[in-house]
Amino acid sequence: MTAAPTSGLDPARIEAVLTLFKDAGHAFVNPPILQPADVFLDLTGEDIRRRLYLTQGSDGTDLCLRPDFTIPVCRQHVASGGANLPAAYCYNGPVFRQRPDGLGEIPQLGAESLGRTDTAQADADLLALSVRALDAFGVSNTHIRIGDETLFAAVLAGLGLPSVWQRRLRDLFGETDKLMAAIDRMAGGSSTDDDSRDVRLGFLSALEGADPEAAHAVVEDLLSIAGISAVGGRTPSEIADRFLEQAALASAGRGHEMAAASLRAYLALKADGAEAVPSLRAFSSTHGLDLADPIAAFEHRLAALDAKGIAPSSLSFAAEFGRRLDYYSGFVFEIHSATGETSGPLVGGGRYDRLLTLLGAGANVPGIGFSMWLDRIAAHTGTDS
């Protein structure tokens, strides 16, 4: 029996959903709970990094309790040789993230699809599969939110911003408050803490133009002298990288007011799926940006979803919407309670086309998957059935 008894849901229903996944071609896997910490520190983003449960192996290796399933499933695929593609997997078990209240052991169930090149159809298949899984749990009265980092990246590229600004803004996609603050800074706005900012920029000015390896060594030495081994899950080397990025941002300058205005206008776009394409085309025309290819891909996905019985008009598109995991690279989605009685998504997923390459795959392997939050689903249904 693979069901997790801590979810508050009937194990028979969980087994029925796993059978649904298996019938759709997803093989069940159960990756180890203990995972190498550095992989998650590098690839999951700030929100997950600060919530890891960290420990050490007997050989001094930094380990963590798995905070999600996508990376462990993909690591297991790569370790197995990764030759058989496309491949599809499903899973059921706990993930571990520190929470300000409540237990940090979170029951999840989900599915991953790797190596499919029919991108729009794969996106539609996985979102439709998650909807069918919710139906099997007896979940109704939900709404589906979608976003697309590919569109945001195309807007950044079309605005002609320095590459370091493009990289920084894309890294913040999905964290709207931080993203808007960075856009304000890029446009020439002042920091909320001018004194500390002046000190910081003085240090960055000293790094600017220096040999990267020498500058990196200086920052690491300063941290070592101060006795700092890690900050917020970042190693001294990663902190040094961040300082050098900040120096590059200072070098790239500010005052990109027109680009900032275009970005603010883009991030303000909201529409249902049926109106999203006209809204995107109107934006691209108004701001003189060539977004024809990513808009066509977006439209193709909507058509594939429609063919699966998910009407575009039932979807909620927000240009600012991205999921707070660094490995997502394109289409993302969440399914929420329409009543708002359950906080957080019932289902969250998206596309991660760079992840397997970063984990050591010998070639680019496209991927998309989703996770279901079983404790939230139990709360949403209001029963233990």
pLDDT single digits (tens) 111-151: 999 999 999 999 999 999 999 999 999 998 899 999 999 99
Task: Tell which residue, 315, 348, 346, has the closest CA to residue 333.
Answer: 348
pTM across the whole model? 0.83
- What's the pLDDT tens digit per position in 82-109? 788 999 999 999 999 998 777 799 999 9
Q: What is the model's pLDDT at position 385?
A: 38
Query: CATH 3.30.930.10 residue ranges in the chain?
Result: 5-141+339-381
Domain made up of 5-141+339-381: CATH architecture: 2-Layer Sandwich (3.30)
- d(CA 356, CA 41) in angstroms, rounded, equals 16
Q: What is the model's pLDDT at position 242?
A: 57
- What's the pLDDT tens digit per position in 335-367? 999 887 778 899 999 999 999 999 999 889 999
Mean pLDDT of 181-194: 71
Residue 273 has pLDDT above 50, yes or no: yes
Residue 222 contacts by C-beta under 8 Å, 6 or more apart in sequence?
none
359 to 82, 99, 166, 187, 250: CA distances (angstroms)? 11, 27, 24, 36, 32
